[in-house]
Structure 1
Amino acid sequence: MKKSDIKTLDDLKEYLTEYCKENPEDDCCELVRGICEANDWIYTDDSDLEYDCDDYAYDGKNLLSCYGGREWNVCKVEGVEMEYKGRDIIVREDAENYYVDFCTGLGEGIYPKADWDLESAIDDQANIYKEKKAELPISIEDLLPSEHYDTLVVTDDDMLLCKHSDIYDGVSGNDLCDWDILVMGDNGLLMLPNEQLIYSEAYFGDMYERVKPGDEDEDTVYKDCDFDNDEIAVRKLSEIPSDIKQSYVDIDHGINTDEICVTDAEVIRGKVYEAPLHTPQEYPKQEYEDVFLFVDADGNKRYIKRTSPFFADEQRDVYEEITEQDFKEFC
């Protein structure tokens, strides 16, 4: 076959197969580039789209690739799959246009290359999609039920999502010290509480209050401690004094855990749904973001965005209330 007889990518495949047998040292790049220019095809290395390294030519519907260095193949390709702000999209092209499809059933946008570069074409189609999406109601059936959250906690200046089962009663070590309450250590000796710790219900059975001289009763026992050579008089603690008992939830971030006091917070149980899209992290410009729909027992809805910091060990996730319009951008 002569080069002038090439009219389709299948013709080019046949031509290159024979050419490579006669010219095994040629990588065929310049040859294919020239043939693409003559036929108004896309030479993939010259495209703004990211084709695979084995791909050579695209005519808007079919793709010519070379495998193993000399095995040429033509296959039908709808376009190049890309990720755009957490959404999978498909972009194809021909010599004149970009075709941008957000895979929503709303169709693809056509953008003449003479007027649009690739980035601006995708951004414009994203804005059109957002405008159409904003006109549609949110259907819970399109959202993902959260496996991690069923409770919204709201304070004066903060909010967070958590599992209700993760909320526990506890007391700070500093408050235990003020009430002269001691903790049984692993070595069997009574010890002063660590002022930096939050003691949960798991410790309640190993707590003792000091008994002052003259206040002994039948429940008084004498225990060894790690701060005195003599046994001291104590009484098994029946319950934590209500004045110092608090409610907490542990929030993990990286290698650290924050113990958040939620005693005075508004704790609301409900159902939590996660939007299907997210904003991927792009250090150092963009932190990871995803959004949730919280529905309480009365059917009231609140839209919440979670932002995950670049350095999780240093800072926990930040939750903030957003509008329904903002939420729809992630659907």
Structure 2
Amino acid sequence: MLRYVLSRLMFSVVVLLGISVLLFALVRSAPGNPVDMYFDPMSFQGPDRDAAVAAARAQLGLDKPLPVQFLVWLGEALQGNLGRSLVSGRPVSAVMLERLQNSSSLMLTALLVSLVIGIAAGLFAAMKRNTVVDYVLSAAGLVALSIPVFFLSLIGMYFFGVKLGWLPTAGMNDPGGGALSGLRHLVLPASILGVSGAAAYMRWGRASMLDVLDRDFMVTARSKGLSTSRVIWRHGVHNALIPLITVVSLQIPTLFSGAVVVEQIFAWPGMGRFAVDSISARDYPAIMGFVMFVAVLVVLCNLIADVLYAIVDPRIRL
């Protein structure tokens, strides 16, 4: 088991190194220059501007060859230093930590909503297959999966925020508000993000449960005289949840893609808005920090899924 984990860990390190090289090259080759954004071409022209731009590029290390810039960045990143934001001047790691705390409450709540609604609906639909309940749940899951997150957000804002006035539509909290105010701000964006993920869990859960229900060991369990509830919950659900390990582990990083949209629409000061603001300002260190964080999260979730599969099914270790 230890040898298997170490081999997967080494593979993950190689993948992250490849991602960092590709990402650094793409970010540096993108149109625009962050230094030019700080100098107004209408009011500051001529040799003085060129000298100021050159000095700023040298100060930021942008005048060095691209491989040298990457090696400098990689050496600092391995020590936990992701550089300073070109916009705020603060350490990128400190800004990301603040934003991550805000995003964690949103995404963990959304993940809980996704798991509870999606897996429960999928397993229930499988046990009621080819009935009206199955058709209604499958159709609802397909609709939820087809609607873009931004459109679902706008619908939620209109009905629950504007039309009914039940929930706030922007920010994390009211000025001077307490925990209850923060919870009210959390309900709408977390529910929308959670419903989008629940549709995927429901479809996977239904397919997995249908596959288990037709297995021979289920027929054997029934032939032993076990009750239907025991056969379903002890043998069926237990085995149906195993394939969902991969789905859940891969769905966690995709929450960030949905969070980028949801946080921007609901003015939630999390990692999603941090990414959008960094891209708009061509903040190289911030962009690198955010994308590498997501890459590490994806690789880590895949590694955890591989280890869990090896624990559940020892044949995978071979």
Q: Return the TM-score normalized by structure 2.
A: 0.25
Q: Return the TM-score normalized by structure 1.
A: 0.24
Q: Considering only CA atoms, is the larger Rg found in Structure 1 or Structure 2?
A: 1
Q: With CA pairs under 8 Å and 6+ residues apart, which has the higher RCO, 1 or 2? A: 2
Q: Higher helix fraction: Structure 1 or Structure 2?
A: 2
